[in-house]
């Protein structure tokens, strides 16, 4: 045993280095977010005590609360919308045999590799033409639409693995196809939908490109975009404690979610990726 | 299982409509736009003027665009080398007998779940800061004054600093895919090789790499798609610095830019912006085909 441990020692060196770097990064930013700018520049973090005002100022003076709420609305509404559109489509593609189902599968897979940069110009003029810009709903709609292909692709596998006896027994009980889907299939497919929603939560919470194009004004801005403009302002006025506090406000929600669901995320990536 | 046509249409309808309106129509329209002179983003088709390949000719003469192409190829090569080196290293380590694999996987994937804006700010204002930053402090303590004096975010270094910071946030994803691929290789091969006295390196290059060809090809294509569409970090880390501009960001500047940047002289041009989108897509497809040729599908079963 001892021999084996010694042999594995070189394997632990890169892991330990990564851990040390992560801890230093994370630890330093937390301490800096509670320090004054002078403490940061003199390398004596927390030297003047804990500065909670770095955080409270963000909410009092920079309206961070409003952007926080915006991002929560974007994330919750988009995640719900994606599941609502993708689940029924994936159910059909995963379980029902009909002409053209292979072709439709291919369409959704190909849509996943269409970059935002390619479609953003017509999307913008389309939304301007429909007078759909400048509200929270705009970006929600964009997030739902652009994430549906991945949602369909991801859930199709889950639905196809459910035994067909579930619908048969539902049919015997007198359920129509829609009732059978909602009452019988959806509960069984719940783990897949939850994993998809976790992916979507992180994706939407951290999204940048579409937010920059479709929601970059005072009322509709996302938390990430607000962070960028706050950092720009603070680095001009020299409020470095505030910069790191703002980072923590954006980072913590996704980190807390990740703490609870990292196993699911990793399993989801691993399953979906092996045979590409 | 069979269902009535009306039920199929009801369940599939919204997703198919989204595909047509949000993916197919804009793709075709962008393609068309790249051959027209278009006065503004909201111009109607009647206001467009057909100019053939002129937009592409304009791009091929624009020094800003050519620099952005050079930048993105560098990101693909340097960032790719960094990401794959670390991803392979950790993927191999996490298929050995180390303890706490679940924890290590979560830890290495963690940066992938952090907003690019947060990561950029932390790297710019902490790691790369020249007065209290992590690198400066570390090198000073080690007495390496030459390294401690590097200005990581000046004109000369910001491009490479951006690639390093970006790669840190991307390693985890590729590590997970490679790790899963290596995990599927039967362990008897390694056991037999160990009995024959093969070293870690021999096992990696003679067993892992050949048997991982399919997975490697997939990850390489994924990386190419990511790299060619590189956009976010030019905005969040580069902050308009021309040294970090990629074609994707150039297109954004050209079409959506609010002015006040170095591109003022290289004016607003929707048609040329659409051309950039088409070029990125064509380049991505060409690269994917080329990668497929270089690493043909393996018939090997194991």
pLDDT at site B299: 63
Could you tell me the pLDDT band of residue B266, with boundaries at 50, 70 and 90?
A: low
Chain centroid, CA B178 distance in Å? 17
Residue B239 lies in a domain: yes
pLDDT at site B301: 59
Domain assignment of residue B68, given as a range: 55-294
CA torsion, ordered B76, B177, B169, A20, to nearest 10 deg: -130
> What share of chain B in percent tops pLDDT 90?
49
pLDDT at site A49: 78
When CB atoms are compared, the residue of A29, A118, A149 closest to B281 is: A118
Residue B17 lies in a domain: no
pLDDT at site A257: 92
When CB atoms are compared, the residue of A121, A263, A274 closest to B184 is: A274
* Most confident stretch, A32-36, B68-72, B134-138: B68-72
Residue B42 scores a pLDDT above 90: no
Residue A224 lies in a domain: yes
CA-based nearest distance B248→chain A, Å = 6
Q: Which of residues 98-157 of B touch A (CB under 8 A)?
A: 98, 102, 104-111, 113-118, 121-122, 125-127, 131-132, 134, 137
Domains: count for chain B: 1
Q: What is the pLDDT along chain A (276 residues), one digit of tens a residue?
A: 455 666 778 889 999 999 999 999 999 999 999 988 888 888 888 878 788 888 988 888 888 999 999 999 999 999 999 999 999 999 999 888 888 888 988 888 888 888 888 999 999 988 888 888 788 999 999 999 999 999 999 998 888 888 878 877 877 887 888 888 888 888 888 888 999 999 999 999 999 999 999 887 888 999 999 999 999 999 888 889 999 999 999 999 999 999 999 998 898 888 765 433
Average pLDDT in the B187-208 region? 87
Within B149-300, residue ranges assigned H as helices are 158-168, 171-183, 187-195, 200-203, 209-211, 213-228, 232-236, 247-255, 270-294
Residue A220 lies in a domain: yes
Chain B residues with CB under 8 Å of A202 CB are 113
Domains: count for chain A: 1
What is the SS3 assignment for A48? coil
Residue A56 lies in a domain: no
Beta bridge partner(s), residue B37: B49
Which of B269, B265, B264, B227 has the alpha carbon at shortest distance from B248? B227
Cα gap B137→B165, rounded to integer Å: 18
Q: Which of residues 56-95 of B touch A (CB under 8 A)?
A: 89-90, 93
Residue B33 scores a pLDDT above 60: yes
Residue B220 lies in a domain: yes
**DSSP track, B45-105:** GGG-EE-TTHHHHHHHH-HHHHHHHHHHHHIIIIIHHHHHHHHHHHHHHTTTT-S-HHHHH
The answer to whether B41 contacts A258, with C-beta atoms less than 8 Å apart, is no
Domain assignment of residue A155, given as a range: 66-273
CATH number of the domain where residue B97 is located:
1.10.3720.10
Cα gap A81→A196, rounded to integer Å: 12
Residue B300 scores a pLDDT above 70: no
Residue B13 lies in a domain: no
Residue B31 scores a pLDDT above 50: yes
Residue B25 lies in a domain: no
Supply the pTM of this predicted model: 0.90
Chain A residues with CB under 8 Å of B93 CB are 11, 14-15
ipTM of this model? 0.89
Residue B206 scores a pLDDT above 80: yes
When CB atoms are compared, the residue of A43, A113, A212 closest to B225 is: A113
Q: CB A101: neighbour CB atoms within 10 A? A: 17
pLDDT at site B176: 93
The answer to whether B1 contacts A247, with C-beta atoms less than 8 Å apart, is no
Note whether B169 and B112 are within 8 A (CB).
yes
Residue A221 lies in a domain: yes
Beta bridge partner(s), residue B50: B36
Average pLDDT in the B150-173 region? 91
Cα gap A59→A213, rounded to integer Å: 25
The answer to whether B126 contacts A85, with C-beta atoms less than 8 Å apart, is no
Residue B36 lies in a domain: no
Residue B260 lies in a domain: yes
Residue A27 lies in a domain: no
Residue B26 lies in a domain: no
The contacts of residue A38 (CB under 8 Å, 6+ apart) are A47, A48
Could you tell me the pLDDT band of residue B4, with boundaries at 50, 70 and 90?
A: confident
Could you tell me the pLDDT band of residue B194, with boundaries at 50, 70 and 90?
A: confident
> What share of chain B in percent tops pLDDT 70?
94
Q: Which of residues 243-262 of B touch A (CB under 8 A)?
A: 248, 251-252, 255-256
Residue A236 lies in a domain: yes
Element (H, E) at B36: strand B36-37
Residue A92 lies in a domain: yes
Residue A18 lies in a domain: no
User: Which DSSP category does B256 fall into?
Assistant: T
Buried b (16+ CB within 10 A) or exposed e, B5-44: eebbeebbebbbebbeebbbebbebbbbbbbbbbeeeeee
Cα gap A27→A4, rounded to integer Å: 33
pLDDT at site A5: 62
Could you tell me the pLDDT band of residue B260, with boundaries at 50, 70 and 90?
A: very low
Vertex A252: Cα angle to A248 and A256 (nearest 5): 160
When CB atoms are compared, the residue of A113, A148, A243 closest to B121 is: A243
Least confident of A265-274, B172-181, B205-214: A265-274
CATH number of the domain where residue A236 is located:
1.10.3720.10
What is the SS3 assignment for B142? coil
């Amino acid at each position: 045993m001892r021999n084996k441990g010694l042999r594995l020692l070189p394997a632990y060196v890169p892991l330990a280095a990564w851990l040390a770097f992560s801890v230093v990064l994370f630890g330093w930013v937390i301490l800096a977010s509670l320090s004054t700018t002078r403490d940061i520049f003199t390398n004596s973090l927390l030297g003047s005590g804990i500065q909670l005002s770095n955080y409270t100022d963000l909410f009092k003076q920079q309206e961070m609360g409003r952007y926080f709420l915006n991002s929560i609305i974007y994330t919750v509404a988009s995640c719900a919308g994606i599941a609502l559109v993708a689940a029924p489509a994936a159910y059909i593609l995963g379980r029902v045999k009909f002409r053209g189902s292979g072709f439709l599968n291919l369409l959704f897979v190909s849509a996943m590799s269409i970059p935002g940069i390619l479609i953003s110009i017509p999307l913008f003029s389309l939304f301007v033409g429909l007078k759909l810009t400048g509200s929270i709903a705009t970006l929600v709609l964009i997030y739902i639409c652009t994430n549906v292909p991945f949602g369909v692709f991801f859930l199709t596998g889950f639905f196809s693995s459910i035994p067909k006896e579930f619908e048969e027994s539902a049919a015997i009980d007198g359920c129509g196809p829609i009732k059978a889907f909602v009452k019988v299939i959806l509960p069984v497919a719940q783990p897949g939908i939850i994993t998809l929603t976790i992916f979507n939560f992180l994706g939407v919470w951290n999204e940048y490109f579409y937010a920059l194009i479709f929601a970059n004004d005072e009322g509709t801005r996302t938390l990430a975009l607000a962070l960028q403009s706050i950092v720009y302002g603070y680095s001009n006025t020299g409020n470095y404690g505030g910069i790191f506090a703002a980072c923590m406000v954006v980072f913590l929600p996704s980190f807390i979610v990740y703490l609870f669901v990292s196993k699911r995320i990793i399993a989801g990536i691993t399953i979906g990726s092996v045979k590409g | 299982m069979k269902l009535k046509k009306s039920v199929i249409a009801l369940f599939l309808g919204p997703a198919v409509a989204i595909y047509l309106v949000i993916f197919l129509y804009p793709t075709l329209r962008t393609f068309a736009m790249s051959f027209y002179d278009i006065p503004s983003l909201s111009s109607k088709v009647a206001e467009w003027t057909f100019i053939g390949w002129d937009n592409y000719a304009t791009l091929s003469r624009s020094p800003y665009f050519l620099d952005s192409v050079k930048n993105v190829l560098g990101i693909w090569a340097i960032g790719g080398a960094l990401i794959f080196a670390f991803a392979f290293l950790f993927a191999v380590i996490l298929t050995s007998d180390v303890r706490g694999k679940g924890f290590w996987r979560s830890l290495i994937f963690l940066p992938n779940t952090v907003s690019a804006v947060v990561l950029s700010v932390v790297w710019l204002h902490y790691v790369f800061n020249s007065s209290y930053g992590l690198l400066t402090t570390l090198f000073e303590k080690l007495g390496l004054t030459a390294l401690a004096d590097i200005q990581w975010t000046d004109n000369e270094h910001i491009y490479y600093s951006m690639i390093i910071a970006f790669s840190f946030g991307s390693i985890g994803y590729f590590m997970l895919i490679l790790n899963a691929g290596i995990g599927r290789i039967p362990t008897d091969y390694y056991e037999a090789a160990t009995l024959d006295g093969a070293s870690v390196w021999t096992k990696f290059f003679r067993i892992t790499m050949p048997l991982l060809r399919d997975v490697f090809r997939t990850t390489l294509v994924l990386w190419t798609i990511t790299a060619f569409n590189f956009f976010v970090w030019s905005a969040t880390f580069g902050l308009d610095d021309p040294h970090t501009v990629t074609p994707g960001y150039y297109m954004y500047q050209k079409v959506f830019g609010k002015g006040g940047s170095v591109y003022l002289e290289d004016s607003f041009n929707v048609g040329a912006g659409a051309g950039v989108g088409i070029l990125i897509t064509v380049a991505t497809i060409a690269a994917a085909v080329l990668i497929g040729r270089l690493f043909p599908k393996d018939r090997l079963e194991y």
